[in-house]
Amino acid sequence: MGLIMDKLPRQFTSSPYVSMVLARRRSLILLGLPLFLIVLLFSGTVNVDNEWGHKLDSLGDNFKAGVSYVTGNGTVQVSYPSTNAPTNTSSINPFPSELSAGATESTIRTKPYARPGYELPLANGVPLRIMALGASTTRGDSPEEGIDNNGFRRPLRERLTSIGNKVNYVGTQRLGNMTDNDIEAYPGVVTATIHGNAQRAVPKSKPNLFLVNAGSNDCFQHVDIDNFYKRYDDLVQYLLEASPRSTIIICTILPTWDTRFNGREEVWKVNPQIRRLAKIYKSQELPIVLADLQGPDGIQDGNLAEDGMHPGTAGYEMMATKMYEAIVEADARGFLQPPEPMQGILDDGDEERKDEEYMKWFEEKQSLDNATAMAEQKEIEKMLAELAKMKKEKQEKRPEDTKLRRHPRMLF
């Protein structure tokens, strides 16, 4: 403004009209400054960072030039004229209603958006009591050398605990060298058998999160593939009924190039059934999410071990990633609930193991203490018996002693 005024004739700049314009400009600036400060205080400390900047017109028609918006986590979007915008010196409009030609818009953010489920705990940090249900792939079996049978469970647990959720795997079996290694999976079992295993295990622990990987052995054993979805739905419905607070992650089964059982074609028939069930469950608003393990970014033939059926360590890492993404989706859809309290089941599976170790030590110590006390009691009883014996012997000898002592007196 000052640069423009310097270029105008002196008699024009001293006119009452221009003085009025300048006065009103100063008033607007003074009135606008507190409003801008209020926006800054509302959103926290505002730093302009070109890394976050982008044109507001790319955000949609709802954003207008010259307007400040407070959105998201303290995000303030402000539009303002570019300092490099050309200025029209041929005329002066003291009350512009729109930005001048060449104006640009930028975004000011106090901090980046938090992405719930990745940077923050799931469901405000509810404990996750997880039951992994399935067969050999759920167990982490593989012909790969050095396999530890932790499978997808360890990397998945590490991701969930790293964002602040406590995890306790539950099940009647224990497998793998991880501390919290409970599981409900057996090699070679079909879906109907997995259902039966669940009926015995679920009431004992009431998980709030199920990881279901069932169907591979139905394919390898060629068990009524056309009606597979019926058996699978029976299993899912039972889990929802037996543990009402639960969320279920259902998984498509892995591909196979094994030629002994010739299950490849069956897999291509089963996975579409699982995907269709997932769509049905979604339409019914059931707490069920699909982890598509055989999708475009899932496990492919090349990720399988030498048997053509099971993944190796890297493949199990991929499974963990897909399941983690499905759990995050479940959180975004508001499915996750706190687990039902169960006696003897802690929120943290590792801590539960520590309790088990303590109880084992305590029981061993108590057993040793009891054995020591019993041995001590036997020694005491032995001593008492010896003392009683000595006393009895003394009593038996006493009449003779009395007779001998009294005999001389009896002579008088």
39 lies in some domain = no
**Do residues 148 and 166 both lie within one domain?**
yes
16 lies in a domain?
A: no
- The pLDDT assigned to 240 comes to 97
Whether 358 is covered by a domain: the verdict is: yes
In a domain? residue 38:
no
The residues near 309 (Cβ < 8 Å, ≥ 6 apart) are 137, 216, 220, 254, 256, 258
Which of 139, 222, 153 is closest to 185 using CA atoms?
139
DSSP for 105-117, written as a single string: EEEEESSPPP-TT
Residue 210 belongs to what H/E stretch? Answer: strand 209-213
In terms of domains, do 336 and 389 share one? Answer: no
What is residue 394's predicted lDDT score, i.e. its pLDDT? 83
- Is 321 found in the same domain as 276? yes
Can you give the pLDDT at residue 326?
A: 96
pLDDT value for 295: 81
Q: Kindly state whether residues 299 and 385 are assigned to the same domain.
A: no
Residue 240, in any domain of the structure: yes
Helices (H), 190-312: 191-205, 216-220, 228-242, 264-283
Which pTM was predicted?
0.62
Verify that 314 and 356 share a domain, yes or no: no
Same domain, 317 and 264: yes
CA pseudo-torsion sign 223, 274, 319, 205: negative
Picking from 347, 373, 389, the residue at the C-terminal end of a domain is 347
| Digitized pLDDT (tens) for each residue of the chain, 412 residues in all | 444 444 444 444 445 544 554 555 555 455 555 544 444 444 443 333 333 333 333 334 444 445 444 444 444 444 444 444 444 444 444 444 444 444 444 444 444 445 454 678 999 899 999 999 999 999 999 999 889 999 999 999 999 999 999 999 999 999 999 999 999 999 999 999 999 999 999 999 999 999 999 999 999 999 999 999 999 999 999 999 999 999 999 999 999 999 889 899 999 999 999 999 999 999 999 999 999 998 888 898 988 999 999 999 999 999 999 999 999 999 999 999 999 999 989 999 998 888 776 666 667 777 888 888 899 999 999 888 888 888 888 888 776 555 555 555 544 4
* DSSP states along 346-398: -S-HHHHHHHHHHHHHHHHHHHHHHHHHHHHHHHHHHHHHHHHHHHHHHHHHH
Count: domains in the chain: 3
Residue closest to 185 by CA, chosen among 219, 152, 160: 152
- The strand pairing partners of 134, in sequence order, are 185, 213
Residue 325 sits in the same domain as residue 193: yes
375 φ/ψ angles, rounded to the nearest 5 degrees: -65, -40
Same domain, 267 and 166: yes
| 238 Rama class: left (phi>0) / alpha (psi -120 to 50) / beta | alpha
Alpha carbon distance 241, 233 (integer Å): 12
**Residue 375 sits in the same domain as residue 278:** no
Assess whether 293 and 371 both reside in one domain. Answer: no
User: The domain spanning residue 276 has which CATH number?
Assistant: 3.40.50.1110
Residue ending a domain, choose from 71, 92, 113 = 113
Residue 396 lies in a domain: yes
Last residue of a domain, one of 300, 332, 347: 347
Domain extent for 207: 122-347
Residue 405, pLDDT score: 52
- Shared domain check, 271 and 196: yes
Nearest residue to 175 via CA among 150, 202, 143, 197: 150
- Structure tokens given for 11: 């008699």
Position 389 in a domain: yes
Q: Answer whether residue 5 is part of any domain.
A: no
Same domain, 175 and 272: yes
